């Protein structure tokens, strides 16, 4: 999931994509939400497909990604190395187009979203709203550089909705035991951020320099050891899920009933 971007994005995922599937395991609750939005689609193009997370079972899926490392991890048979801004398909080629945490990597998000509308009759886009609050404690207390980076590259939710002429926007609260290790996955399991392999599977951590990340991680390590993190975040410790601004945007043909 998530890798059609500027000129450096394919190279970045060629580097960080190694071992990606071990950390980024599709979560069944997000899978159910995306699957419901794709219900009835027989042919699907997954733009920024990565390793193939959240693709609907039973559909004929074509995976598109600019990173060969990511495509090599994709289990499907139909794989195309291409950019979101220039999808090599005829108008209306698919019942649905899906894009999961990838629009922020595209060099021209509006062109990419227009391409989704061109090649498919339904569009299903999972993204993050940079205007949403609260944000993860990691950005508040340890790495404000993450917030600056994310807010600079994520297209505002309202613009995604407008570009797709979307009819549905569904919130997705991140469960405390979320299995897909993107940036906010470990909001109630802070010790996992100490694992370099976990950080490497997140494009945000991997984009920031070690000189920025490592001192912040050492502060987190110290706060966990002293109990300061638990005191500061006591309100999170008994919560089952938190809304951190992740949204599923659905446009075009509506899912079939059933």
* Interval 113-131 mean pLDDT: 97
Q: Is the pLDDT of residue 19 over 60?
A: no
Query: What tokens does 168 get?
Result: 């549905």
Mean local confidence (pLDDT), 166-177:
98
- Mean pLDDT, range 147-174, rounded to an integer: 96
Going from N- to C-terminal start, the domains of the chain cover 8-252
Q: Could you tell me the pTM of the whole model?
A: 0.89
Name the percent of the chain lying above pLDDT 90.
78
87, 96 contact by CB (below 8 A):
no
Considering the chain, what is the average pLDDT of its residues? 91
The stretch 139-163 carries a mean pLDDT of: 95
What kind of fold does domain 8-252 have according to CATH?
A: Rossmann fold (3.40.50)
The closest alpha carbon to 127, from 255, 250, 26, 256, belongs to: 250
pLDDT for 23: 62
| 3-class secondary structure, 38 | coil
pLDDT greater than 50 at residue 4? no
- Which letter does DSSP use for residue 139 in this model? I
Pair type for strands 79-81 and 43-47: unpaired
Which residue, among 20, 29, 5, has the nearest Cα to 84 in the 3D structure? 5
**What is the pLDDT at residue 107?**
86
């Amino acid at each position: 999931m998530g890798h059609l971007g500027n000129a450096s994005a394919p190279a970045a995922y060629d580097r960080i994509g190694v071992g990606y599937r071990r950390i980024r395991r599709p979560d069944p609750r997000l899978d159910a939400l995306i699957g419901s939005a794709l219900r009835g689609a027989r042919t699907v193009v997954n733009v920024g497909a990565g390793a193939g997370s959240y693709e609907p079972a039973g559909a004929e899926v074509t995976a598109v990604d600019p990173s060969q490392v990511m495509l090599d991890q994709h289990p499907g048979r139909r794989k195309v190395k291409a950019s979101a801004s220039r999808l090599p398909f005829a108008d209306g080629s698919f019942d649905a187009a899906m894009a999961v945490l990838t629009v922020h990597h595209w060099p021209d998000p509006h062109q990419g979203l227009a391409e989704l509308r061109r090649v498919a009759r339904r569009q299903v886009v999972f993204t993050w709203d940079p205007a949403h609050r609260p944000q993860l404690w990691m950005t508040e207390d340890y790495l404000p550089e993450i917030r600056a980076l994310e807010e600079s590259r994520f297209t505002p939710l309202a613009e995604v909705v407008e570009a797709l002429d979307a009819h549905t926007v569904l919130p997705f609260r991140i469960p405390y035991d979320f299995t897909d290790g993107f940036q906010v996955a470990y909001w109630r399991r802070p010790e996992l951020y100490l694992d370099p392999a976990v950080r490497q599977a997140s494009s945000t951590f991997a984009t920031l320099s070690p000189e920025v990340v490592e001192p912040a991680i050492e502060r987190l390590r110290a706060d966990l050891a002293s109990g300061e993190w638990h005191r500061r975040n006591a309100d999170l410790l008994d919560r089952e899920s938190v809304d951190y601004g992740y949204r599923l945007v659905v446009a075009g043909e509506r899912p079939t009933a059933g």
